[in-house]
Structure 1
């Protein structure tokens, strides 16, 4: 087949069988809904609150948000590497991760929120970069090995959509830190900590059961 000018007509596009990666709103929402209740009564909120009493809110939020971004990226990478293992092993590990998280959250619901410490009478006068750097260091250390990292790694391994998981988890963490930094002590005093932790524990348990069922089904098929 030829064009009128004598040149060969272009061949019709043939599907390659691989679609370009597209963000999944479902995965983003799943990560957000799972991570948010885990972090609301967590030490992350209270650490952000204390930092906001020492420094101006904006540099604290920037530093905390950057720390969360790095930690979520680490968790997503770990989960993505885990997904390279055999399917039944991945499902089994994910089930254990979520089960451990459910137990820890349910046990922590019996105790009150962590002590946020005494607020400073006036904020320290310091540079934007220094306040952001201090906030980054504090939250990076506080978040290491946290339940939100465990949840994020488990989702990344199970859902095989690291970018969407990253966006959802990071958005949840930014929401929590934003509430703490800009709303402050009033929010911390009014949070039904025990109820939030129990709801989060039940969410973790649901994911653990789903992963366990998938493991058994894979092994018996």
Structure 2
């Protein structure tokens, strides 16, 4: 049974935690890279749905996952993403090649962009503060449906904001500049995750 107060409480807790988070930046980067906002949004929202189901289902048990393994995998994923983005950002010889590369990305199949977006966000969300918050709320309220819906609505709204911003930015900035900035951001995420790994 859905309890509106639990749903709204979960939304209010998760939304501000996720708004400045790496998942928003990752969604924005995916939108500027692929320029098929609906495909990116579909993949991201589905990834959030699966993560919410996992968090609600396992509750506080998610906190028992090996923290060092989670931090190591996240660091590796962001490091690889940074390498690929920076290679593309600095690799094009001129504007014509950059425009051709952008056009090639636009022609990727819808399902492939969605699947890539799903994979990136699904991996990035593991061990995230919002996921742990959802697990704790599910354990506290014992109302998994209300907690799950509240969390998913908050995450979907964050993803929508990122896609809208990413769509507007993509049309105004050079592709190479977007790739370089995105690569730098991913590199910072990789370093942060590596620092967390060393501290644990």
Q: TM-score, normalised by structure 2?
A: 0.61
Pick aligned residue for 2:161 from 179, 186, 190: 179
Shift of 1:81: 7.1
Pick aligned residue for 2:120 from 108, 113, 138: 138
What's the counterpart of residue 65 of structure 1?
45
Which consecutive unaligned segments of at least 5 residues does structure 2 have? 64-81, 90-97, 170-200
Q: Deviations over 1:9-60 (max 9, x none)?
A: xxxxxxxxxxxxx211101101100000001000000000000012200000
Q: Deviations over 1:130-162 (max 9, x none)?
A: 000000000000001100111000000000100
> What root-mean-square deviation, in Å, do the aligned CA atoms of Structure 1 and Structure 2 show?
2.5
Alpha-carbon distance in structure 2 between the residues aligned to 1:30 and 1:181 = 25
What's the counterpart of residue 77 of structure 1?
57
Equivalent pair of 1:81/1:157 in contact (CA under 8 Å): no
Moved over 3 A (4+): 117-123
Number of corresponding residues: 134
Task: Determine which structure has more spread, i.e. the larger CA radius of gyration.
Answer: 1
Which consecutive unaligned segments of at least 5 residues does structure 1 have? 1-21, 83-92, 94-114, 188-221
Structure 1 SS opposite 2:38: helix
Pick aligned residue for 2:147 from 162, 165, 169: 165
Query: Per chain length, whose mean CA-contact separation is higher, i.e. which structure has more relative contact order (CA < 8 Å, sep 6+)?
Result: 2
Equivalent pair of 2:31/2:167 in contact (CA under 8 Å): no
Alpha-carbon distance in structure 1 between the residues aligned to 2:40 and 2:166 = 12
Shift of 1:79: 1.5
What's the counterpart of residue 150 of structure 1?
132
Shift of 1:182: 1.3
Equivalent pair of 1:61/1:177 in contact (CA under 8 Å): yes
Equivalent pair of 1:152/1:169 in contact (CA under 8 Å): yes
Equivalent pair of 1:49/1:181 in contact (CA under 8 Å): yes
Alpha-carbon distance in structure 1 between the residues aligned to 2:141 and 2:153 = 18
Shift of 1:185: 8.0
Equivalent pair of 2:37/2:167 in contact (CA under 8 Å): no
Alpha-carbon distance in structure 1 between the residues aligned to 2:117 and 2:166 = 15
Equivalent pair of 1:80/1:162 in contact (CA under 8 Å): no
Q: Tell me: CA distance 1:48–1:172, structure 2 relative to 1, closer, same or farther (3 Å).
A: same
What's the counterpart of residue 69 of structure 2?
none
What's the counterpart of residue 108 of structure 2?
126
